[in-house]
Amino acid sequence: MTANDVLNNLKELIGKSFDYDDVICAFSDYEENGEDSVYVGESHNDGYDYIAYIDKVDSTQFLLKTDANDVITDVYKIE
């Protein structure tokens, strides 16, 4: 599985309420440099509300935006 596959999995969550388990499941079978521990957390940055990535330095980051009801409205990646 590639980072683009994870992005596509996460994009399938658009329109659904944010759920940590759903985000972690989107990473199923994805590894970066042999690592597979996923971090998902709230962001305090403007522009996105949650961040998810393989817990390793310099890994691909996936940013999730939500609306006022915590429904996912957009997902994008930063490599």
Per-residue pLDDT tens, the chain, 79 aa: give them: 889 999 999 999 999 999 999 999 999 877 665 656 899 999 988 899 999 998 888 889 999 999 999 999 999 999 8
Question: Residue 31: its pLDDT value, please?
Answer: 61
Q: Is the pTM for the entire model greater than 0.85?
A: yes
Question: Residue 33: its pLDDT value, please?
Answer: 58
As a whole number of angstroms, the distance between CA 29 and CA 73 comes to 24
Helix or strand holding residue 77 (H, E) = strand 72-78
